[in-house]
């Protein structure tokens, strides 16, 4: 039996890939010129002193030039710099390294080079199968700042994502449905987990909803129904409660401008598909005390 068939039959494909990935980054299997300087520093205990010092100096230069962008690598370098202070290789204080590390992270955010990153600290979450060198309170502070700034950078992009969703509310609106909820058998949606719609104008949303075909309008409302199922308005999508109420208020205010048949169908579909979610939203938001974003005055109407 061919080697590949044996591997597949025994279910070892994943194991082989893991082994190959580990070998690919192990210093004994990587040519010196191919190994990045930060990894030479990480494996410093296997190097002679001169090679280690040269690699550390090169890593510092790359740090100064902001060459590290991949999340796991950035965190490794931050930990290695703290370790460098501990062993006397880096002539700085721990506080210096913390301050410089935070500035580095902030610079990455300003240049638009941060992306979402949410793993916890631990060996299995470190990059390239290598544990972080300094899992200390100082490293924890830098790690927390990195995660916070990555999340903030991700949220900075919510308005753009939300406006992009409006382009998907056209025709049968299936593209919108596939992106905002978890339909079975679809690829991972990019806008289903976070309250991205809260950054969208309720008026713009209703404009696009009204422009849809009758079938498209129903798909959009079904997408919202599915999005808010399983109590998600009380949890990860809580920030969309007020947005949803604002949408309903805006829609109610536009009904009289629609043909009677559209008034009838939209009213029925809205009540049937969004009634439960709207009730949850009203329960979560004290509508008698908190103004909506429409005009500062709350008005309610039957769904």
Domains in the chain: boundaries: 31-156, 158-284
pTM: 0.67
Pull the structure tokens for residue 67: 């060459």
DSSP string for residues in 99-150:
HHHHHHHHHHHHTT------PPSSGGGSGGG---S--SHHHHHHHHHHHHHH
Question: Which pLDDT score, from 0 to 100, does residue 123 have?
Answer: 44
What is the structure's pLDDT at 236? 93
Instruction: Give CA–CA dist 3/15, Å, rounded.
Output: 14
Which residues in the chain come in under a pLDDT of 70? 1-33, 119-126, 171, 183-188, 286-303
If phi over 0 gives left and psi between -120 and 50 gives alpha, with beta otherwise, what is residue 128? left
Which pLDDT score, from 0 to 100, does residue 17 have?
A: 53
Q: What is the pLDDT of residue 12?
A: 57
SS3 at position 292:
coil
pLDDT for the residue numbered 229: 94
């Amino acid at each position: 039996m061919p080697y590949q068939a044996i591997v597949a039959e025994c279910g070892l494909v994943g194991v082989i890939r893991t082994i190959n990935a580990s070998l690919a980054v192990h210093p004994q299997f990587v040519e010196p010129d191919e190994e990045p300087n930060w990894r030479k520093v990480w494996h410093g205990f296997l190097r002679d002193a001169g090679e280690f010092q040269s690699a550390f100096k090169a890593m510092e230069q790359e740090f100064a030039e902001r060459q590290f962008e991949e999340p796991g690598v950035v965190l490794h370098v931050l930990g290695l710099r703290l370790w460098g202070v501990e062993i006397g290789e880096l002539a700085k204080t721990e506080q210096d390294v913390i301050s410089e590390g935070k500035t580095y992270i902030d610079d990455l955010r300003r240049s638009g080079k941060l992306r979402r990153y949410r793993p916890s600290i631990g060996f299995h979450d470190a990059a390239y199968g290598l544990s972080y060198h300094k899992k200390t309170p100082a490293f924890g502070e830098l790690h927390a700042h990195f995660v916070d700034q990555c999340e903030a950078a991700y949220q900075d992009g919510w308005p753009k994502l939300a406006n992009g969703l409006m382009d998907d509310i056209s025709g049968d609106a299936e593209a919108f449905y596939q992106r905002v909820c978890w339909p079975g058998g679809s690829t991972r949606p990019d806008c289903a987990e976070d309250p991205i719609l809260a950054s969208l104008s309720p008026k713009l949303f209703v404009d696009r909803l009204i422009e849809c075909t009758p079938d498209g309008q129903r798909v959009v409302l079904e997408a919202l129904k599915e999005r808010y199922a399983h109590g998600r308005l009380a949890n990860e999508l809580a920030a969309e409660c007020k947005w949803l109420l604002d949408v309903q208020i805006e829609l109610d205010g536009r009904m009289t401008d629609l043909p009677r048949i559209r008034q009838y169908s939209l009213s029925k579909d809205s009540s049937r598909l969004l009634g439960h979610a709207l009730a949850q939203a009203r329960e979560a938001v004290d509508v008698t005390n908190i103004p909506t974003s429409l005009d500062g005055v709350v008005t309610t109407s039957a769904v």
